[in-house]
Structure 1
Amino acid sequence: MNMNQSNPIKQFTFLAIGIYIILYGFPFPLDQIPLTHEFFSKYVIALKEKFILFFGHSILGIEKFEKIQMTGSGDTTFDYVSIPANLFIAVLSALVLVLIGKTRKYAASFYQWTLIYARYFVGLTLITYGIAKFLEGQFPGPSFYTMDTLVGNISPMGLAWRFFGYSDTYKIFMGLSEIIAGFLLLFRRTAILGALVSISVCLNIVLVNFSFDVPVKLFSSHLLLFSILVLLPKIKPIFEFFMLHKPSSLGEIKPKIYNKKFKVAWIIANIYLVGVVPVSRAIGHVQSQKFRTMENEWEGLYSGFDIDSNRPWNKLVLEKNYMVLQSENGPKEYFNIQEIKEEGEILIKNQKDEKNPHHLYIKKLDENQFEILLNLGEKEILAIGSKKEKSSYELVKRGFHWINEYPYNR
């Protein structure tokens, strides 16, 4: 990368961008190394969180501002405040470094290293995203619960998740695209190609998140931004080659390594990040999805029960490891299936009563009539109804057709 070492404006710009990249990505890659989080990164994270809270309270004047733990959202108020807070630290740090005049020799090399950091951060994230597409975790296939929900009652995010979850073929395509882009970014010789693929992949992710109100808008936008920054130093030769049809060379992205010990450490880190981390993430994903593979011979949507004031629900869903009681207009009640015993006995638990499991007994009366006995603590509910299989839903039974004389759009 050509960088005028005597130009303080360029030094400041590249330092500020580089510091921001590291601040946003931290604690990566320390969170991928055993024990480092417990002994180091968690304390730095705690300090960073305190500063963001201070920035939100004192600088931005946000009242009742706190970090909500484990929300599943990446677009919380805390996440939004962290952006200007990180920018503030990055700009201030870069300004101080330029003013004390210690950046001329190392500014260009530092920025090159931060682009490598961005490559690995985006690359391993995309690989993780891609692996998830091959499992049930991110986009589950059609379930009784989702297929029985009115489309008008589905959130925009829920609609997108159901759309992507329907087709295994499309999920595989998305997963392969993300994995290929991720692995290309991890290697120096394929990094520019990886950035090009990553930009197209991340742009699609960003558009989905913004179009369907998926709360990962900030994170996906940063993945796109970092991919663009990786490509940016080579944009001139790429433009000359594709648009002006001139012969051009991308050159090699190779940062300066100052001594042999650092080189050995860098090689070991490369092997670990490229070889070990993707495999460990894949294993972790598979293990986290074991509960979804639970066999449940009583799967189905049970309904058509006789009207009974003692029973506030009119539908019962059994699928894999969970059960849902659904009333006509009231709230749904969720249970985890602990064990499926012989003769239709099922042990279930909900969040209200984790210690003592409840009992559900199912007995088949005839071809499509079932007797359901549900014991919820001291309350016993008996109901007789019918069972609906997945194959009876049009979404499942329609399937794929090469030939369609007329559009089948319902």
Structure 2
Amino acid sequence: MSLLQIYKPLTMSTILPKTDTWSVFEKISFRFFFTYFILFIFLNNNGAFPFYGYVNHIFNLGLYEIIPWIGEHILGITYEIRVGPNGSGDTTYDYLLIFTLFVIAIITAIIWSVIDRKAKSYVKMYYWLTLIVRFYVGLMLINYGLVKVIQVQFSAPTMYRLTQAYGDSSPMGLAWTFLGFSKGYNLFMGIAEVAAVLLLFRRTLTFGLIITLMTTANVMAVNYFYDVPVKILSTHLVIMTAFLLAHSFKTLWQFFFFRKPIALTDIYKPALKSIVSKVFLVIKALVLVYVLGFGFYETLSSRDMYYGEASKSPLKGFYEVEEFKLNDSIISCPSKEKKLWKYLMIDGKQYAQIKPADSKTQWYKLDVDSVKKSLVLKSYRDTLEVYNLTYMEGDSTDFYLKGTVKLDTLAIKLQRTKNYKEKFLLTNRGFHWINERPYNR
């Protein structure tokens, strides 16, 4: 054998496995996944593709009519099926949409298998499907990663959380407190998710998929075990990642479990004209610049808008009640008087919380007039419960409120702490390299 034969350049046929014939199972599976993934990505995009919301809005105009009809007339759901985003990705509407897409995919796969039963393979369609799925998963995780790197998704524990009993928090609230406590852990999670950018390049695809599978599996586990209402999306991200990784599964199995030498193979890419390849390259570059560049800028802007100093109330602080007068009578603990405050908590410009002495924290709409030295608190639960108050700042941390609520008059003396984090062990404990014994409280 000549040296030329030994070192001859690798061709497509030597790199790739035989792709001319697929098994019946592979063809039927592909037909199902092709239909289901395409429908899911284009009808339930979740903001992965830039500017796709304008197109998705057109689809939703029809889906918001069709999906509730399916739930009511085919599945017999008797309660109201609400449509539109509301912070949850696991609504009845969302599950009905998934059910509908699943049924359509099965029917399509059956009809497709009958009509095209002589087909040997779908190599080119497989490439385009993997390309769409790669960008969907990759861009989705980059978006999620950026809001963790800049810590917008999981905010630091608020005064409301710090004064709430563990037992009164929901599983999701407990998870958000745990995840939001540490900036470092947010950065760690965010980098792991942004690493999904590796899915957008063929050379780094397999490595990126291994990282992404672990990342999405962890997100899915948190959503399931802490009852976070994004189970549908996180499950699909895991399934899609596993679908992409299936191409290299046999090779990785041989490497990790049998320690055999392997050579990773690329997903077959159909030959494209030079100009088409260049156009795709430019589009990919523009998408990356937009998602990473503008996405980073937009996330920073969101953090400043919702958590920056400009969003804070001039009366921001943690207020502890020292004296509470109701109709000129001093009320003190222990007392069964439900109107007795324990804490007043003000952070942003629009909301405040009052924690009564004997019940859970209540939320109020806040309106402050720093010129007139007045503030108004309107209850979200009781429209008649409106506090019309004037305030006066005394020496040091003293703070005074006077006014009315319903038919009662109030006079309250409070102690104001501007940096509330100093008052709680969770936020003032800090980091310690040396611990002579566990500080578990």
Gap runs ≥5 in structure 2? 1-16, 328-337
**Secondary structure of 1:383 counterpart:** strand
Distance 1:162 1:44, change over 3 A: same
* 1:257/1:263 contact within 8 Å kept: no
Residue 131 of structure 2 corresponds to 116
Distance 1:51 1:16, change over 3 A: farther
Question: How far is 1:212 from its partner?
Answer: 0.8
Q: More deviation in 373-382 or 72-81?
A: 373-382
Residue 331 of structure 2 corresponds to none
* 1:371/1:383 contact within 8 Å kept: yes
Residue 86 of structure 1 corresponds to 101
Question: How far is 1:342 from its partner?
Answer: 6.3
Supply the AA of the counterpart residue of 1:124: L
Residue 415 of structure 2 corresponds to 386
Supply the AA of the counterpart residue of 2:362: K
The alignment yields a C-alpha RMSD, in angstroms, of 3.3
User: Partners in 2 of 1:6 and 1:254 — Cα distance?
Assistant: 14
Deviations 1:343-369 (A, max 9, x none): 96668788799xxx9976543323332
User: Partners in 1 of 2:186 and 2:50 — Cα distance?
Assistant: 30
Question: Alignment partner for residue 36 of structure 2, among 2, 11, 20?
Answer: 20
Q: More deviation in 339-348 or 106-115?
A: 339-348
Pairing 1:280-359 to 2, within 5 Å after superposition? 280-289=294-303, 290-294=305-309, 295-296=312-313, 298-309=315-326, 312=339, 314=341, 315-321=343-349, 322-327=351-356, 328-329=358-359, 332-336=362-366, 341=370
Supply the AA of the counterpart residue of 2:286: Y
Return the index of the structure with the highest Cα Rg: 2
Gap runs ≥5 in structure 1? none
Question: Alignment partner for residue 208 of structure 2, among 190, 194, 201?
Answer: 194
Deviations 1:370-407 (A, max 9, x none): 11246789997442122343202111221111221222
Deviations 1:34-62 (A, max 9, x none): 4x654x44222333444433432333222
Question: How far is 1:261 from its partner?
Answer: 5.8
Instruction: State how many pairs are aligned.
Output: 404
Percent identity over the alignment? 27
Distance 1:96 1:191, change over 3 A: same
Residue 116 of structure 2 corresponds to 101
* 1:4/1:10 contact within 8 Å kept: no
Supply the AA of the counterpart residue of 1:303: E
**Secondary structure of 1:304 counterpart:** strand
User: Partners in 2 of 1:56 and 1:261 — Cα distance?
Assistant: 47
Supply the AA of the counterpart residue of 1:312: K
Distance 1:330 1:320, change over 3 A: closer
- The answer to whether structure 1 residue 148 and structure 2 residue 176 are counterparts is no
Q: More deviation in 396-405 or 100-109?
A: 100-109
Distance 1:300 1:105, change over 3 A: same
TM-score under structure 1 normalisation? Answer: 0.86
Question: Alignment partner for residue 157 of structure 1, among 152, 156, 172?
Answer: 172
Residue 398 of structure 1 corresponds to 429
User: Partners in 2 of 1:177 and 1:209 — Cα distance?
Assistant: 17
Deviations 1:156-211 (A, max 9, x none): 1101100111111111111111111x211111111111110001111111111111
Q: More deviation in 95-104 or 316-325?
A: 95-104
**Secondary structure of 2:440 counterpart:** coil
Question: Alignment partner for residue 215 of structure 1, among 209, 215, 229?
Answer: 229
TM-score under structure 2 normalisation? Answer: 0.81
Supply the AA of the counterpart residue of 1:325: I
Residue 372 of structure 1 corresponds to 401
Supply the AA of the counterpart residue of 1:203: A
* 2:324/2:413 contact within 8 Å kept: no
Supply the AA of the counterpart residue of 1:190: T
Supply the AA of the counterpart residue of 2:347: E
Residue 220 of structure 2 corresponds to 206
* 2:400/2:412 contact within 8 Å kept: yes
